[in-house]
Amino acid sequence: MNAYQTQLKELLVKSTITTGSYTPSEFVKNTDHIAVLINGKPVYLAGESDCDASINEAKQLASSEIYKLALSKIGLTGELSYGVISGSDIDWQSSHHAIVKSESGVFEDGQGVGELIGINLTESQSLGALMCVNDSLAKILDPQCPALDNGHDLSFLAQSN
């Protein structure tokens, strides 16, 4: 493993959230969600539309410059906002990338099965990993998350490898 991979693994072990997969139920496919949107298209489902914590999460992600930059790095650009979207308007797959609760100190290799936090509709594993190890993004998703990457150290290692 190179220095970037080693640091990323250490951060994922330390984090209280991780990436996983989610198979949507019929209820989820047909309920209203609060979502982060790019040009009105959902890229992240934070939860049910009437959940205050999910609304706050979507609002914070939509105003995050780091999240906007990360989306642009995977080719998703445009107006970043948040709003309600009907599950029936989503092109559901059999499973989606997700952010789930994790036990700090445990490495799950992207196969986390903890409590669902949100659904990453971009299907970008790298974006999901960033959300779990970047200080500001991880704290949006889990305010109890310990200090992780400050947005500079891991980026520096990625560029040098």
What is the tens place of the pLDDT at every residue in 66-114? Answer: 999 999 999 999 999 999 999 999 999 999 999 999 876 665 554 545 7
Span of 9-13, 36-40, 103-107, 109-113 with lowest mean pLDDT: 109-113
Q: What is the pTM of this model?
A: 0.89
Backbone angles phi, psi at 74, to 5 degrees: -105, 15
Rounded-to-integer distance, Cα 82 and Cα 153, Å? 29
From CA 120, how far away is CA 136, in angstroms rounded?
A: 17
When pLDDT is cut at 50, 70 and 90, the band that residue 13 belongs to is confident
Instruction: Write out the E strands in 23-153.
Output: 32-38, 41-48, 80-86, 96-101, 116-120
Is the confidence at residue 161, as pLDDT, over 50? Answer: no
Q: Residue 9, Cα to own-chain centre: how many angstroms?
A: 17
Q: What is the pLDDT of residue 109?
A: 55
pLDDT of residue 11: 85
Please count the structural domains in the chain.
1
Amino acid identity at 49 = S
Q: What is the mean pLDDT of residues 43-72?
A: 96
Average pLDDT, the chain: 88
Domain range for 145 is 3-160
Q: How many CA atoms lie within 13 A of 104 on its CB side?
A: 12
Q: CB atoms < 10 A from the CB of 102, how many?
A: 26
Do the Cβ atoms of 141 and 99 come closer than 8 Å?
A: yes
